[in-house]
Amino acid sequence: METHAHHLHKAPGKKFGHYFFEFLMLFIAVFCGFLAENYREHVTEREKEKQYMRAMIEDLESDTARIANLISEDSMNQPRIDSLMHLLRRADRNLFGQTMYYFARIITAQGGGRFELADRSFEQMKSSGTLRLINDAGVADSVSAYYAEQEDLKQQEQIQLTRMAYYCNAVTKVFDGAVLQGMLQKHPYEFHRPEGNPSLLTNDETTINEFIGQLHYFSAILTINYNGAQVQKVKAESLLRLLHSKYHLD
């Protein structure tokens, strides 16, 4: 018994290598957990990035369709404006009452569309701080540049709306509102040429000239925004191609 107890008393303790091995195993476990969590977060962020890019592609497709429609409307509108100006300046303008009434009304109904683009996805990313999820620097720069230019377009839209309001006010001084109302078809919403050859409210040259002046300024902003729309359409299509090529979301 004494010999056995003495032997146990002198039993060697755990060596340094054993403690080092335990530390190494614990370190590896923690490190692997860190790598797994980091990988999971990376995968989650890349999936979120794709979701945002998919939504942005939908916005851009909406932009290109809306811009194409705006360009089509304005391309038809400018000849109407030019013709209306020409007819109003003629001494025998009253012979063309039906055409003048139609053009005076239709240029705000089928033209002068709002230059309003979709920025829902970009604004959501900006407000939530998730623009950082865009992993490709070239894509991030292109997205930021495209939507930065929309601020200028929004200002142009406000100018257009203001000029259209001035123009509409001028219309009431030259054209009979009852005739304009008679041109309106509500279902579907559209305008027809008035019956007969309605007369203008006035042939006063000063009043006519004031109307032509307001029409000119409205025409000018339409032309500016028409040119801007053509440029923006090219940029929207370019950004669409870039996003499709980088994310393969088709």
Distances (CA, A) of 83 to 79, 96, 108, 162: 6, 11, 15, 23
Round the CA-based radius of gyration of the chain to a whole number and report it. 35
pLDDT at 150 (0 to 100):
81
Domain membership flag for residue 95: yes
Distances (CA, A) of 241 to 55, 107, 147, 232, 234: 15, 34, 16, 14, 11
Q: How many C-beta atoms lie closer than 10 Å to residue 202's C-beta?
A: 13
Q: How many C-beta atoms lie closer than 10 Å to residue 60's C-beta?
A: 26
Domain membership flag for residue 89: yes
Only one residue has tokens 């997205």, namely 143
Rounded CA gap, 115 and 113, in Å?
A: 6
pLDDT at 35 (0 to 100):
64
Domain membership flag for residue 97: yes
In the chain, which residues have pLDDT < 50? 1-2, 5, 8-11
Residue 42, Cβ density class (10 Å: 0-12 exposed, 13-18 middle, ≥19 buried): exposed
Domain membership flag for residue 6: no
pLDDT at 11 (0 to 100):
47
Range of the domain at 157: 13-247
Domain membership flag for residue 30: yes
pLDDT digit string, tens, across residues 16-56 = 666 666 776 777 777 667 666 665 665 566 788 888 888 88
Domain membership flag for residue 8: no
pLDDT digit string, tens, across residues 180-203 = 999 998 888 889 999 999 999 999
pLDDT at 18 (0 to 100):
66
Domain membership flag for residue 7: no
Model confidence, pTM: 0.75
Domain membership flag for residue 58: yes
